[in-house]
Amino acid sequence: MNFYIFNSNNKSRTLIFFFFICLLICFYFADIAISVYESKRTTSEYYIDVLSSRAEHMRKRFPAPTKVDVIFIGSSRTRYHVDTEFLTKKGVTSYNLSLVSHNPLSYPSMVDSATEMTPKTIALELNVPWLYGNFERRIPTPGALDILAQIKCGLPLATVGHFSLGYLEQLSLISRYAVTLCEKSKAYLNTIIFGYMPKPIKEQKGNSATHAKKVNIVKLSNGDGVLRGSDLDEQDIANIHIKDLSHIRKKNIEFFNYIISMAQKKGIKVFVYLAASIQTPKDFDLKLIQKEIHAPVINLVHAVPATPEYWADEGHLNSRGRKIYSAKLLDKLNTLTNTGSL
């Protein structure tokens, strides 16, 4: 009798085990199906804000044998600050491979996608305070390469653990579907509220929305984004906290140089551009950063005046500030090229 119960329990355990294995397999193939769906839905005019879709969008906008001069990699400070349509018209064929809410900890996967296009140059955004902060920050949809890079560079175990959890989360059927559904919903709402542009937009003169205390987000089909208007006034600017940049962190420098080396090892040139920031003190140690970073560094931190006319919020430029920033970026890029630094 006891032997029968023992066997029965074993059978139940086996059935439960196989049930969970089948469930995992179903989730795995559903995840693949959603990835394929994301890829199929991505065209030269449409994408969602995950790296796989952005990379596919880049490939479709620049099919072989078309060559890209510069691929920009960064966060929302690249998405909304760099006007690749303007740069391309000026003779620098560019693509904006940036992901909102990301930071250098997720750059390895982005650099890997960029190098597949064999561009002449990869441009890496660097927000100066990042070099002085800690790593305890999770980002959306980290990749396996990001986690491996962190392990190779000896980052704190807590950081690697955070990223590993984020990586597992993005494999979830519900998580990936939610991202896809959210992006589809936002794209639809953009057509109603913000006027989603099937082609890159051109700024209109005399935009009176700058001081309207409202920001409209416009997603462009070339991979860029634009923030229209401003949530700031002069008092908001005056109250912005300037960050204390006392001690640069060695591990941050090492990790960023590792990212640079990923492209350089494949024969691709790299330059670093310092993101525009009101929160960065004007007397930050630029020479130290230029000395420590293993690539040419373009300083654009205070390239745009700190007024509501040019800033959508305390961290991002609006459409007017974007024009100034992109023009100064082009000037400094040309200087690097003409002096043989790049």
Mean pLDDT of 269-274: 97
Mean pLDDT of 116-138: 86
Number of CB atoms found within 10 A of residue 58's CB: 23
CATH class of 42-132+178-338: alpha beta
Q: Which three-class secondary structure state does DSSP give residue 340? A: coil
Mean pLDDT of 24-51: 74
Please tell me the distance from the alpha carbon of residue 40 to that of residue 51, in angstroms, as a whole number.
14
Among 25-29, 83-87, 198-202, the least confident range = 198-202
11-50 in b/e form (b: 16+ CB < 10 A) is eeeeeeeeeeeeeeeeeeeebeebeeebeeebeeebbbbb
DSSP conformation letters of 185-237: HHHHHHHHTT--BSS---PPTT-TTTTSSEEEEEEBTTS-EEEEEES--HHHH
Task: State the Rg of the chain over Cα.
Answer: 23
pLDDT, greater one: 241 or 294: 294
Please tell me the distance from the alpha carbon of residue 48 to that of residue 22, in angstroms, as a whole number.
30
What residue ranges do the domains of the chain occupy?
42-132+178-338
Q: What is the pLDDT of residues 223-257, one digit of tens each?
A: 999 999 888 888 878 777 777 787 888 889 999 99
Judge whether 227 and 317 are in contact, CB under 8 Å: yes
Check residue 212 and give its pLDDT: 45
CA triple 56-276-206, angle to 5 deg: 90
- Give burial (CB, 10 Å; 0-12/13-18/19+) of 235: exposed
For residue 199, pLDDT beyond 70: no
For residue 55, pLDDT beyond 70: yes
Q: What is the pLDDT of residues 134-182, one digit of tens each?
A: 665 555 556 778 888 888 888 766 566 656 655 555 554 445 455 555 5
Q: What percent of the chain has pLDDT over 70?
A: 74
Q: Which three-class secondary structure state does DSSP give residue 179? A: helix
* Three-state SS annotation for 98-109: ECCCCCHHHHHH
Among 133-137, 205-209, 258-262, the least confident range = 205-209
Check residue 25 and give its pLDDT: 79
Judge whether 294 and 257 are in contact, CB under 8 Å: yes
Check residue 207 and give its pLDDT: 38
Compute the half-sphere exposure of residue 122: CA atoms within 13 Å on the CB side of its CA.
Answer: 29
Q: Which three-class secondary structure state does DSSP give residue 123? A: strand
Mean pLDDT of 79-85: 96
